[in-house]
Amino acid sequence: MDKATGWQPLAALLATAARVVAFTGAGISTESGIPDFRSPGGVWTRYDPRDFTFAKYVASAEVRARAWRMRREFWQADPQPNAAHRALADLEAAGRLRGVVTQNIDGLHQAAGSTTVVELHGTSRQVMCIGHAPRVGTPDGCGFRSGYRWAFDHIDDGETDPRCPQCGGIVKSATVSFGQNLFPGVLDAAAALLGDADLVLAVGSSLQVYPAAGLPASAAATGTPLAIINDEATPLDALASLVVRGRAGAVLPPAVAAVACRTAPQQ
């Protein structure tokens, strides 16, 4: 495993790859002003993740009201894609990146122009009905889905716990909380994308949360080169062909710029 702090070794890897897949975590969005979870000052250093489980959300109107307040604050900041998101979109537009598998729920990859994005943990840009009393960890709604503004309009009208307009069920952001199953088909879609990659970039993730972190780990274990771009060490560093210690917004753009204009190697 090579360790680097500059972008050049990453550019050298990208130059030989034609089917890159990016696996991203909250660290790719911190330069958009969105705190990650486990860095100093991260979300789970300020809140207890045990308070944000699917079961507690279903059981308590107060937990739901607090969750809507937090989501409202998040979207009021109107986060925008940063140079790292745009670099991955550029690599896709250059025909070298097959897609992004992200743990993030902020939708910033799509906002940057990425068109193939698998959102392992769903998206906070939508809300959905999860039913009146869903079974453990499994949303059981009527199918109602809308943009998050539907919910904020109701919150602004004084509702603290907006209910489904079709069936009266509980409404939640279309995200995957602790204690909630991933949405059907998402893991298979991610595995299919990664299974065909000739280079996996893991960007801005502590690679500690499963089943998500098992995806880059499996790719590396089956011989696909793995490059990790992260501010700090991760448990998968030993599996990586290259570890770049640095900020995503400083490393990805020059590495991508160095290869995006060159002809991609044969697929």
CA pair distance 47, 81, nearest whole angstrom: 25
> Which of the stretches 21-29, 63-71, 87-95, 255-263 binds ligand APR when contact is defined by CB under 6 A?
21-29
Catalytic site residue 121? yes
> Which of the stretches 38-46, 89-97, 110-118, 188-196 binds ligand APR when contact is defined by CB under 6 A?
38-46
Nearest to 178, CA basis, from 55, 65, 261, 46? 55
Question: What angle (nearest 5°) sits at the alpha carbon of residue 179, between those of residues 138 and 230?
Answer: 120
* Choice from 30, 32, 124, 224 touching ligand APR (CB under 6 A): 30
- By the rule CB under 6 A, 254 interacts with ligand APR: no
CA distances from 227 to 151, 164, 260 (A): 39, 43, 18
* Choice from 14, 17, 20, 26 touching ligand APR (CB under 6 A): 26
What is the distance between the terminal CA atoms of the chain, rounded to a whole angstrom?
Answer: 25
Closest approach of Cβ 42 to ligand APR, in Å?
5
- By the rule CB under 6 A, 83 interacts with ligand APR: no
- By the rule CB under 6 A, 237 interacts with ligand APR: no
* Choice from 31, 159, 161, 196 touching ligand APR (CB under 6 A): 31
* Choice from 4, 11, 18, 42 touching ligand APR (CB under 6 A): 42
Question: How are the residues of the chain apportioned to helix, strand and coil, as percentages rounded to the nearest 5?
Answer: 40, 20, 40
Nearest to 84, CA basis, from 250, 242, 258, 234? 250
Catalytic center residues: 121
